[in-house]
Amino acid sequence: MTLSGCKGFGLIPKIKVVGQSTTEYGDAMFADNASEAKGYGIYLSTLGDSNFKENSNLAATNIIKAADDWKITNSLAKLNGSLPLIAQLTCGDCNFPNRIGGELKANITFEFEFE
């Protein structure tokens, strides 16, 4: 994900991750109810960077938090750049007996917020 146009200071950034998710098939994963595929979803994570914490399952927590050492005196321009995300197609715990193939939809929105 590329962040740009960030400026100012005095705030703690976070990124809210919004999308339909399910735990019906094991660990939380993104999958829209309108999907034809059942038993599958998108597992989304980030390794973090110098500005944001690692998060191994964004469908479970729906938030990317600022790094522990982020200070409100930091310039928000420091955020401009890339934040690596990893998206994986998954079958959850893969023991769901009624998996159905087909079109998988997972709409995910990222909302930039401040504390």
* pLDDT for 10: 93
Q: Which residue has the tokens 């109810």?
A: 33
Residue 13: is its pLDDT beyond 90?
Answer: yes
CATH class of the domain at 2-114? mainly beta
pLDDT bin (cut points 50, 70, 90) of residue 69 is very high
pLDDT bin (cut points 50, 70, 90) of residue 96 is confident
Do the beta carbons of residue 45 and residue 58 sit within 8 Å? yes
Q: Which residue has the tokens 């750049």?
A: 81
Domain boundaries, the chain: 2-114
β-pair partners for 13: 114
Mean pLDDT value across the chain: 95
Cα–chain-centroid distance for residue 75? 24
Q: What whole-number distance in Å separates Cα of residue 51 and Cα of residue 45?
A: 15
pLDDT bin (cut points 50, 70, 90) of residue 12 is very high
Strand 41-46, strand 13-18: pairing:
unpaired
